[in-house]
Chains A and B, each alone.
Chain A
Amino acid sequence: MRYSTSLLALCVAITSLATVSQAAAQGPAADAGRWVVPRTAEGHPDLQGNWTNVTVTPFQRAEDKGPVLTWDEVAVLEGRAAARVERGARASDPDRAAPAVTGNTGGYNNVYIDRGKIVAIVDGQPRSSLLTTPPDGRIPAMSPMGEKRMEEYRAFRAQFGRYDNPETRPLGERCMMSFGSSAGPPMIPNNFYNNNYTIVQTADYVMIQTEMVHDTRIIRLGEPGRLPEHMRPWMGDSWGHWEGDVLVVETTNINPMQTFSRFPPSKDRKVTERFSRVDEETILYEFTIEDPAYSELWGGQIPFKAFDDLLYEYSCHEGNYALDNILRGARYQERQGNQPEQR
């Protein structure tokens, strides 16, 4: 009993000391001017808030580039982005005619578009690609199993038209999920707009909400109790744990319709994400993808920057005339005796 009491006292003392040390480390008086990672009541880094991963750094690296840009190249890339915005804001010719027929319908006024304006910087290095593994910054080749899946796809795909029904249309077009891999995992910026996220953290869960199209992933913390293999939520089954100050999230059971980079995941895909709060304005987001459909592991690093603005509910179905227009268009072409184009 006496021993236990002493041990308890020691524990209390150590805990108190640790608490004081932690408080001192965070106190502005102790380390004036130096950023200290904010922590939750549980003592973990606080990842909460609004973040954006928009950047002009491309996902894959150009084949003639090294992994790090020169600052001159940064100026060119960022200057090009600014120039595109400036061009998009110029007045049009008031005497212009209707657009020419070039085979391209074009997009929208540039004011809608938010492709970002800064290069992704990691460890002080301006990056030429978000993908960093394999070392060439390119998505690796498919494995023999992946090639076989693609052959099966082509054979299956040849059976019906792409515009036959809503189920054959992409998830983004159906307002089921964000387009590309905004919600992920992995969470990759799209090249258009709304690359914004809200993170909410508790002792047992981390929630990541993706603005477009209001996709919310609930990450459970602790020892994984995985879903049965046949249960495939859109964003998979995510479990997280803390490795020191890094939140590590492992996701399996990803829905096979949740495509990424134009390829559906195999049933055994596992995505591992690491979230590190590296400064006041940045979470370093790292991801790796293990998928037997590919010849090797691939992954990358993306800075998530603090987003000093609001996210809005997406309510994607409210105004989704587009899906209606697409399917109606195909039916109209059929009535005219034309086969809808398969693109």
Chain B
Amino acid sequence: MRSRSVLCTAAVGALALVMYAVPAVAHHAFGAEFDADAPIQLTGEIVKLEWVNPHSWIHIEITNDDGSKEVWMVEGGTPNVLVRRGLRRECLPIGTTLVVDGFQTKDLTLKRANGRDVTFPDGRKFFLGSSGTGAPDDGAEQRGRGTEGRC
């Protein structure tokens, strides 16, 4: 019994030591999830928005050179900040065309990438497309608790 207890203590201690190298500034290290050698640019229409934590995910359908279609998932940050700035999921209509710059996940068979830059085709930032600069308290956005958002 005692040996089991000691073993458990050792295991917890060992795990604690594993956790030593925790990235302190993000939910995850971008370099752990995405391949820095696999940059990608995608142009396609929104088919689905996942307004969830810890990261929002935008699904866009792209058309390949041979005419075939693929749906890619693009990772963004927490939706909480966007909601507090009055930007709701309803503000971002399905069918909107986006241009996404990013890097693929390390598993290159997945159709997933980080949204390093997400814009409309004319270069305007996707999340700032309705009004204002999108900066906190720039005067254009409304509080998340309001009945109306920015869009």
Q: Which residues of A are interface residues toward B (Cβ below 8 A)?
A: 82, 85-86, 88-94, 96-109, 111-114, 117, 149-150, 152-153, 156-157, 162-163, 167-168, 170-173, 175, 179-180, 190-194, 211-213, 230, 232, 256-257, 259, 261-264, 308-310, 312, 314-316, 318-323, 325-326, 328-333, 340-341, 343
> Smallest CB–CB gap between B105 and chain A, Å?
5
> Smallest CB–CB gap between B35 and chain A, Å?
7
Given A93-B123, A105-B114, A322-B27, answer yes or no on A257-B16 (Cβ-Cβ < 8 Å): yes
Question: What 0/1 pattern do residues 73 to 85 of B give for CB contact below 8 A with A?
Answer: 1011110111111
What total of chain B residues lie within 8 Å of the partner, measured CB to CB? 83
Assess the A112–B81 pair: CB atoms within 8 A.
yes
Of all A-B residue pairs in the complex, the 3 with the closest CB atoms, nearest first, are A329-B106, A112-B77, A319-B52
Question: What 0/1 pattern do residues 15 to 33 of B give for CB contact below 8 A with A?
Answer: 1111111111111111111
Q: How many A-B residue pairs have CB under 8 A?
A: 266
B60-68, B88-96, B131-139: which one contacts chain A?
A: B131-139
Given A94-B121, A106-B116, A111-B125, answer yes or no on A322-B54 (Cβ-Cβ < 8 Å): yes
The 24 listed contacts between A and B (C-beta, < 8 Å) are A85-B133, A91-B123, A92-B125, A96-B123, A98-B101, A99-B117, A102-B36, A107-B116, A109-B118, A111-B127, A112-B76, A112-B81, A167-B15, A172-B28, A191-B24, A191-B25, A194-B80, A230-B5, A262-B24, A314-B53, A321-B55, A325-B106, A329-B107, A332-B109
A319 vs B74: C-alpha distance when bound (angstroms): 12
Given A108-B115, A112-B78, A319-B50, answer yes or no on A173-B28 (Cβ-Cβ < 8 Å): yes
Assess the B24–A157 pair: CB atoms within 8 A.
no
Instruction: Add 13 more A-B contacts to A256-B16, A320-B54, A322-B75 (CB < 8 A).
Output: A107-B114, A111-B128, A112-B76, A153-B20, A156-B18, A170-B23, A193-B78, A230-B9, A256-B15, A309-B145, A318-B52, A329-B35, A329-B105
Interface residue from A105, A153, A173 paired with B103 (Cβ < 8 Å)? A105
Q: Which residues of B are interface residues toward A (Cβ below 8 A)?
A: 5, 9, 12-37, 39-41, 50, 52-57, 73, 75-78, 80-85, 87, 99, 101-103, 105-110, 112, 114-119, 121-128, 133-137, 143-145
Interface residue from B56, B75, B123 paired with A94 (Cβ < 8 Å)? B123
Assess the B133–A256 pair: CB atoms within 8 A.
no
Given A101-B36, A114-B136, answer yes or no on A309-B26 (Cβ-Cβ < 8 Å): no
**B80 contact set on A, CB distance < 8 A:** 193-194, 211-212, 312, 314
Interface residue from B9, B30, B87, B110 paired with A106 (Cβ < 8 Å)? B30
> Smallest CB–CB gap between B50 and chain A, Å?
6
> Smallest CB–CB gap between A291 and chain B, Å?
13
Given A309-B143, A315-B53, answer yes or no on A85-B107 (Cβ-Cβ < 8 Å): no
> Smallest CB–CB gap between A142 and chain B, Å?
12
Interface residue from A102, A108, A263 paired with B76 (Cβ < 8 Å)? A108
Closest to B50 in A: A319
A308 vs B87: C-alpha distance when bound (angstroms): 17
Closest to A59 in B: B24
> Smallest CB–CB gap between B83 and chain A, Å?
7
Assess the A179–B26 pair: CB atoms within 8 A.
yes
A193 vs B101: C-alpha distance when bound (angstroms): 22
Assess the A343–B26 pair: CB atoms within 8 A.
no
Assess the A194–B81 pair: CB atoms within 8 A.
yes
**A96 contact set on B, CB distance < 8 A:** 41, 101, 123
A173 vs B100: C-alpha distance when bound (angstroms): 24
> Smallest CB–CB gap between A321 and chain B, Å?
7
Closest to B118 in A: A109
Assess the B25–A332 pair: CB atoms within 8 A.
no
**A86 contact set on B, CB distance < 8 A:** 133, 135
Assess the A343–B27 pair: CB atoms within 8 A.
no
Interface residue from A94, A101, A309 paired with B84 (Cβ < 8 Å)? A309
Assess the B13–A256 pair: CB atoms within 8 A.
yes
Given A103-B36, A179-B27, A322-B55, answer yes or no on A162-B117 (Cβ-Cβ < 8 Å): no
Given A99-B116, A309-B143, answer yes or no on A315-B16 (Cβ-Cβ < 8 Å): no
A332 vs B19: C-alpha distance when bound (angstroms): 23
